[in-house]
Amino acid sequence: MNEIGFVVNPIAGMGGRVGLKGTDGKLEEARRRGATPRAPDRASDALETLYRLDPSPTVYTAAGSMGESAAVAAGFDPTVVFEPESAAEGESETTAEDTRGAVRAFLERGVDLVVFVGGDGTAADVAAVLEEADGETPMLGVPAGVKIYSSVFAVTPADAGRVAAEFDRVESREVNDIDEAAYREGTVRSELRAVVPVPVAPEIQSSKQLASGSVDSLADGYARDVDAGRTYVFGPGSTVGRIEDAFEIDGSPLGVDVWRDGEVLVRDGSESEILAALSDPVTIVVSPIGGQGFLFGRGNHQLSPAVIRRSDALDIVASTEKLDDIGAFHVDTDDERLNEELRGWIKVRTGRYTTRLVKVV
């Protein structure tokens, strides 16, 4: 690979830890809740890995926070080929059209790969431009958004850098996006937006599976083992939702809830609200996301490193059918030391009495 185009959606993922499940149309509210950008750091992680493995590629990028800053910090001497129109007009934020404009500029230079930093919405913007052109230029996502349902993303930012440096072939992968407004109300409406070429590597995640099997016995068994006085932090998803049903909790299907001794302390909480409600001892209850196998870092950013470290127990729950489709778990918490602590074999509750060991890689 000789030339790459690199573009960052600077606000991607800002709504996650503050409980907004996305940033589309919610940026000002995210900021009021104390959200801070996470995409720039993840962009740097990806490019630093790429530079360490292969500093030779020519990097074409957009000005400032849309890629230039991260590329320079990683050691590259990037060529800026796009200036965000929103910046020229005095706006403080970039737009989807800015992303598309940057990708068009990359294609005019004949890049071998487009690497983007964002979530599914950014992926859809990039894919739309690629399909308008020849549809042959591959794309690779650095995960930074709240919604990561597409199979064009590397597992972690560092993995993206590694894949960009080492891949030797591509295959067709799906770009999916969901309706954020419906998502905030607890409904997942997924739409296939494109099928695009993506580098082939074990570090590329699978598509999100939207269906799940029955977990009634699992939920009933878990509810019987509840400890009085323990604080439970319930992650999103239908499996954990069935456990909340067994506790007679009116939970948030796609948010994070805090419960102790029959009382819901927080419903659909942000990171700060969750931390404020915690009282020792603390158990986090999560289920891996569909066929992707993520425990943390996809759709549950409220379960931040601070929240995870505040707990003394982690309960993983999943049906055997879901585990059969996964193979291994992944974590992407924005804290590599914590990621490493979480890796290894972990026990997963699969039924009323049954468990299985699954490796976090």
> 86 and 145 share a domain?
yes
Between the CA atoms of 163, 168, 171 and 174, what dihedral angle is there, to the nearest 10 degrees? 20
> 270 and 343 share a domain?
yes
> 271 and 337 share a domain?
yes
* Strand spans (E) along 50-112: 58-62, 79-82
**Please, what's the b/e burial string for 307-341 (b: 16 or more CB within 10 A of its CB; e: otherwise)?**
bbebbeebbbbbbeebbeebeebbbbbbbeebbee
Q: Is residue 43 part of a domain?
A: yes
> 165 and 229 share a domain?
no
pLDDT of residue 219: 87
> 29 and 160 share a domain?
yes
Q: Is residue 163 part of a domain?
A: yes
Contacts (Cβ under 8 Å, ≥6 apart) of 134: none
Distance CA 199, CA 195 (A): 13
Distance CA 358, CA 181 (A): 34
Is beta strand 139-143 parallel, antiparallel or unpaired with respect to 170-178? unpaired
Is residue 123 within 8 Å of 116, Cβ to Cβ?
Answer: yes
Distance CA 35, CA 114 (A): 28
Distance CA 310, CA 137 (A): 44
> 46 and 157 share a domain?
yes
According to DSSP, residue 64 is labeled G
Distance CA 136, CA 158 (A): 25
Per-residue pLDDT 10s for the chain (361 aa) are 689 999 999 887 665 554 455 555 555 554 566 556 678 999 999 999 999 999 999 999 999 999 999 999 999 999 999 998 765 444 457 889 999 999 999 999 999 999 999 988 899 999 999 999 878 999 999 998 776 778 899 999 999 999 999 999 999 888 887 665 555 555 555 677 888 999 988 788 776 544 333 577 788 888 888 899 999 999 998 899 999 998 889 888 889 999 999 999 999 999 999 999 999 999 999 999 756 799 999 889 999 999 999 999 999 999 888 888 788 999 999 999 999 999 998 989 988 778 888 999 9
Specify burial of residue 237 (Cβ count, 10 A radius: 0-12, 13-18, 19+). Answer: buried
Closest CA to 55 of 36, 32, 78: 78
Residue 162 CB neighbour total at 10 angstroms: 21
Distance CA 67, CA 8 (A): 5
Residue 104 CB neighbour total at 10 angstroms: 16
Helix (H) or strand (E) holding 197: strand 190-199
pLDDT of residue 209: 47
> 194 and 247 share a domain?
no
> In this structure, which amino acid lies at residue 91?
E
Say if pTM beats, i.e. exceeds, 0.85.
Answer: no
> 191 and 262 share a domain?
no
Distance CA 182, CA 178 (A): 8
pLDDT of residue 296: 95
Q: Is residue 299 part of a domain?
A: yes
Could you give the residue ranges of the DSSP H alpha helices within 167-267? 180-184, 216-224, 238-246
Domain C-terminal end among 199, 233, 249: 199
pLDDT of residue 216: 77
> 144 and 284 share a domain?
no
pLDDT of residue 105: 97
Report how many domains make up the chain.
2
> 306 and 192 share a domain?
no
pLDDT of residue 28: 57
CATH of the domain at 66: 3.40.50.10330
Q: Is residue 189 part of a domain?
A: yes
Q: Is residue 320 part of a domain?
A: yes
> 142 and 107 share a domain?
yes
| pLDDT tens by residue, 46-79 | 999 999 999 999 999 999 999 999 999 999 999 9
Residue 93 is part of which domain span? 3-199
> 186 and 282 share a domain?
no
Is residue 123 within 8 Å of 14, Cβ to Cβ?
Answer: no
In Å, what is the CA distance from 329 to each residue of 46, 190, 267, 293? 21, 23, 26, 5
Q: Is residue 155 part of a domain?
A: yes
Q: Is residue 208 part of a domain?
A: no
Is residue 164 within 8 Å of 76, Cβ to Cβ?
Answer: no
Q: Is residue 28 part of a domain?
A: yes
Closest CA to 361 of 345, 337, 338: 345
**φ and ψ at residue 2, rounded to 5 degrees:** -110, -30
